[in-house]
Amino acid sequence: MKKKSTPAWLTTFLLRVAGGINYRKLVKASKNPKQASEQTLRNILELGKDTEFGRTHRFDYILAAANGDELYKRYTEVIAPSDYEDYRPYIDRHKQGEANVLVPGKPVMYATTSGTTKEPKWIPITDVYLKTVYGKMTKVWLYNYIQNRPKSFYGYLVTIVGKDVEGYAPDGTVAGSVSGVTRRDAPSFVKEMYAVPGGVYGIKDYNARYYTIMRLSIECDATIFITANPSTLVEVQKNVDKYYDQYCDDIEKGTLSHDFDIPDDIRKEVEAQISPNPKRAAELRELKKKYGRVLPKHYWPNMQILNTWKCGNTHVYLDKIKGFFPDTCLHQEFGYFSSECRFGLVMDDTNYSTMFPHYHFYEFMAEEDVDKLNDPEALKSAKFYQLHELEQGKRYCPFVTTCSGLYRYNMNDLVEVGTPFYNTPRVFMLQKVNGIVTMTGEKLHERQFIEAVNQAAAESGQAVKFFVGFADLESSLYRFYYEFENQDATQQQCDEFTKLVDKYLRQQNVEYVAKRDSMRVHDPVGYCLVENSFEKFKAACIAEGARDGQFKMNLLMQDEKRHAKFKALVK
């Protein structure tokens, strides 16, 4: 186990200082979000005015506005709401080496993520964006840990993230994951607290990767665990359950098992930081004697912060890790964070993200106008709200303008407004807008489907480990897939369960009732899934190139590629 050279008190002090400075700037901006937003929009337009995009879209004309209201009026006249495909031609030119196209100079890197087409998105990241949103606001993030749990940095950090370098654009510019970059660019005194060296995230075999991560991490007194997707925690603990004794043997001897496919260069990097630790091995063996199944609360009793997403459909996985961590550990929402934009961060024990009015310019469309997202002409004339105009309790679709070349960019999400941070509203990401499925105007929400399944389970007594639904446009019906706790459940029981789901959907959605009664949406069809269906589905996606740290899925979809994978998992 590697040793830390910086005392915990000094690490804490340094983070308080660095984070505190940027926290106070955030507070200042948040006290007057209208003023901060105007200045931010001016800063972003000034940054991009000499690019081809800025000249074509008359940034000089917009910037000549005398006041904030006129600035926004001109901005919305000239710049239409957008999505990634609007920027792809500009970004493709940057990737070929052209400068001053969408952003000043060239991007310093690209964040890669899945897109709406078969081609992935390459999100440009500028030097300004790296230094502010990924640099300064990460310091606030770490400062926030200390504010909530003063001893957060008294142990080691376990982070499960993507690789900071996953490939290169044709001109040689790096492409990688946002989470990997955030980890890479942390202060040096924080990096020495990482339980796992960066190279480990390059292990392609996920079983080997999880083994290496946990062989190193379980040896440490970890106090912070960060992974965006809580489904990863489920996979990690399965690795612990399976290989616990092997961890102990490795820790005792100071080795890394050769039973796993680990590239030689990564193995050397890991072996450079480990040495025999019979004392810790003995402690871990005693834990197994005492508890049988050894959980994080046993091998990491001093854990202070668990940081994962808690939004959208993640409760399916969160339910599986209940009781895993110490009661004193703060399980904090990861925050509204995507490759396109680090939209905000959570500052307390709520799930609502504090936004950055001094770095991003935000706009919002009311939930009731969501249908306009699929109609470009209607979208142009839709009512948009600025940050200071949001109403608590209401739901909106956010659009963002960043200093990385995205202008009025549709995040394709649905957020709910909570209590403010000073005078700036905070938001919670409910779901992707594509979590709303409609075949004939029924506009069935993912959350309605989730609630219907939960109600059906309560009424029938038939517990469900995992479930997913798909719209079948050709047949004009929904196909629902369930992994029942009782693997002996019959098709008849499945059919009865589906009738209950249908009943509860009718109770929740009046449009669904109208379409069902008129036979425009036919009876839903149910299927029984094999055991560990989600894990098998996820493994299949990863085998095709999906990134574990970014792995996301809705529980109600219109997606035939994913649908086909679940069809193959029917009993």
Q: Domain coordinates of the chain in residue numbers? A: 12-127+354-412, 153-333, 438-567
Kindly tell me if the per-residue pLDDT of 210 is higher than 80: yes
Burial class (CB in 10 A: 0-12, 13-18, 19+), 220: buried
* pLDDT, position 362: 98
Of 48-52, 116-120, 331-335, 363-367, the range with the lowest mean pLDDT is 116-120
Kindly tell me if the per-residue pLDDT of 374 is higher than 80: no
What pLDDT band is residue 520 in, cutting at 50, 70 and 90? confident
Q: How far apart are CA 262 and CA 272, in angstroms?
A: 15
Kindly tell me if the per-residue pLDDT of 296 is higher than 70: yes
Q: How far apart are CA 126 and CA 36, in angstroms?
A: 21
* pLDDT, position 484: 97
Mean per-residue pLDDT, 166-179: 89
Of 13-17, 145-149, 376-380, the range with the lowest mean pLDDT is 376-380
Secondary structure (DSSP) of 311-356: STTTHHHHGGGTTSS-TTSEEEE--SB-SS-B-EEE-SSSSPEEE-
Kindly tell me if the per-residue pLDDT of 263 is higher than 90: yes
Q: If DSSP codes are grouped into helix, strand and coil, which group holds residue 158?
A: strand
As a whole number, the mean pLDDT across the chain is: 92
Kindly tell me if the per-residue pLDDT of 534 is higher than 80: yes
For the chain, what percent of residues have pLDDT higher than 70?
97
Q: How far apart are CA 480 and CA 475, in angstroms?
A: 14
Q: How far apart are CA 208 and CA 203, in angstroms?
A: 7
If one counts every other C-beta atom within 10 angstroms of the C-beta of residue 440, the result is: 13
The first and second tokens of residue 498, run together, are 């589906």
Strand order, beta sheet including 330-333: 156-160, 222-227, 305-308, 330-333
Residue 306 near residue 332, CB atoms below 8 Å: yes
Residue 345 near residue 24, CB atoms below 8 Å: no
Burial class (CB in 10 A: 0-12, 13-18, 19+), 444: buried
If one counts every other C-beta atom within 10 angstroms of the C-beta of residue 233, the result is: 21
Burial class (CB in 10 A: 0-12, 13-18, 19+), 497: buried
Q: How far apart are CA 39 and CA 326, in angstroms?
A: 44
**How many helical (H) and strand (E) elements, i.e. helices and strands, does the chain have?**
22, 22
Q: Give the domain 438-567 fold.
A: GMP Synthetase; Chain A, domain 3 (3.30.300)
Whole-Å CA distances, 386 to 36, 64, 398: 12, 20, 10
Taking only the tens place, the pLDDT of each residue in 37-67 is 999 999 999 999 999 999 999 999 999 999 9
| Residue 313: closest CA among 450, 471, 474, 411 | 450
* pLDDT, position 569: 97
DSSP letter assigned to residue 133: I
Kindly tell me if the per-residue pLDDT of 447 is higher than 70: yes
Mean per-residue pLDDT, 389-403: 97
Report CA torsion sign: 22, 28, 33, 34: negative
Whole-Å CA distances, 119 to 4, 71, 110, 434: 43, 35, 14, 18
Q: How far apart are CA 45 and CA 55, in angstroms?
A: 10
In 161-202, which ranges are continuous DSSP H helix? 178-184, 188-191
Residue with tokens 């459909």: 313
For the chain, what percent of residues have pLDDT higher than 90?
72
Kindly tell me if the per-residue pLDDT of 326 is higher than 90: yes
Taking only the tens place, the pLDDT of each residue in 140-165 is 999 999 999 999 999 999 998 878 88
Kindly tell me if the per-residue pLDDT of 471 is higher than 60: yes
* pLDDT, position 165: 85
Residues 6+ apart with CB under 8 A from 281: 248, 249, 251, 252
Return the higher-pLDDT residue of 350 and 441.
Answer: 350
DSSP letter assigned to residue 323: T
Q: How far apart are CA 234 and CA 218, in angstroms?
A: 16
What pLDDT band is residue 386 in, cutting at 50, 70 and 90? very high
H/E element holding 14? helix 8-31
Q: How far apart are CA 157 and CA 415, in angstroms?
A: 30
* pLDDT, position 545: 74
Taking only the tens place, the pLDDT of each residue in 100-132 is 999 999 999 999 876 555 577 899 999 999 999
